[in-house]
Structure 1
Amino acid sequence: MKSVIAYFNKPILKIPLLFGLATGLLVFIFFLGLYAIGIVPLGNNKVLDFGIHIIMIAVACWYFRKKVGNGFLHLWEALTIGYVVNTIGALVAGWLIYFFVTYADPSVFTDYIAQMKALMLEGKSELVKNIGEAEFSKMYNGVGGMQRSEIIMDEVSKKTVMAIIPILIISLIFRKQNYGVFHNKP
């Protein structure tokens, strides 16, 4: 057990894990805020929470560079920090949202499914033209058969895809290496 604790006690993992936890909590607070003002907090309305991920990734890279790297941050460190913060944040938010729609207010999930079906029916003619009637029916039935537990992996997969470019940009912005080792000074 001590080896596991020692492994996760390294700053390259500990700091992004803590920032990821904070990210997940902030995303859940955003979810609750949408819920409190009467907006269905799943679906298109929730996509704005990705800004929280971007901000927290940038803050985590800045913090690591300032406190641990003494002003230096390698590209691989920044990429690692970015992906760990993003993944942990998405997992924590996904689980918290899952518990909320399962135990606190299941109507949020049913409203989300109804909204998704209505949106699909609204654009049915365009979808049928692009993918065909059989594929549309399959997709429509798939939305109707969606389980609450899919929220977790949906959150992680969407955030992972959305984060590729921002993490690369943030990593390049905050990267700073010591090139003194490449100079041949006696």
Structure 2
Amino acid sequence: MKSIIAYFNKPILKLPLIFGLITGVLVFAFFIGLYLIGIVPLGNNKVLDFGIHLIMMAGACWYYRKHIGDGFLHLWEALTICYVVNTVAAFIAGWLIYFFVTYIDPVVFTKYLAEMATLLEHGKAELVKNIGLPEYNKMFSEIQSMQRSEIITDEISKKTVMGIIPILIISLIFRKQNYGVFHNKS
């Protein structure tokens, strides 16, 4: 047990886990904020929460470089920090949203499904022209049969895909390496 605790006690893992937990809670707070002002907090309205992910990933890299790396941050460290923050945040937010739409207000999920079905119906002509009627019907039936538990995997997969380029950019911006070993000091 001590070896497991020692493994998770390393700053390269502990710091992004903490930042990811905070980010997940902030994303859930954003979800609740949308809910309280009367906007369906799932779907396209929720996409803006990725900005919270970006800010917290940059903050975690900056904090690590300043306080743990003594002014230095390797690219691999920055990539690790950003991916752990992003994944943990998506996991936490996904579970919190799942619990909300399952136990507190299931109508949110019902409205979300209705909104998706309406959006699909409005674009039916274009979609049928591009993908065909059988594929359109398959998409429509998948929306109708969607389960609440899919919110968790949907959150993680979307945030992982959305994060690829921003994580690379954040990692490149915040990396700072010691190139002193390449200078001949003799």
Q: Which of the five TM-score ranges fits, normalised by the shorter chain?
A: over 0.9
2:143 maps to amino acid: V
Cα distance in 1, alignment partners of residues 88 and 24 from structure 2: 7
Q: Structure 1 runs of 4+ off > 6 angstroms?
A: none
Residue of structure 1 equivalent to 2:185: 185
Q: Which amino acid aligns with 1:178?
A: N
1:82 deviation in Å?
Answer: 0.4
The answer to whether the aligner puts 1:47 opposite 2:47 as a matched pair is yes
Q: CA deviation at 1:181?
A: 1.0
Alignment of 1:106-117 (within 5 A): 106-117=106-117
**1:87 maps to what in 2?**
87
Corresponding residue number in structure 2 for 1:130: 130
Give the letter aligned to residue 31 of structure 1.
F
Tell me which residue corresponds to 2:164: 164
RMSD of Structure 2 on Structure 1 (CA)? 0.5
CA displacement at 1:184 relative to structure 2: 2.6
* 1:185 positional shift: 2.1
Q: Which stretches in structure 1 are left out of the alignment for 5+ residues?
A: none
TM-score (norm 1): 0.99
1:134 & 1:100 partners in 2: Cα distance? 34
Q: TM-score, normalised to structure 2's length? A: 0.99
Distance 1:93 1:54 in 2: 15
Counterparts of 1:125 and 1:13 in 2: how far apart (Å)?
49
Q: Counterparts of 1:140-155 in structure 2 under 5 Å? A: 140-155=140-155
Alpha-carbon offset, residue 183 of structure 1: 1.7
Counterpart AA for 1:78:
A
Identity rate, percent: 76
Letter in 1 for 2:97: I
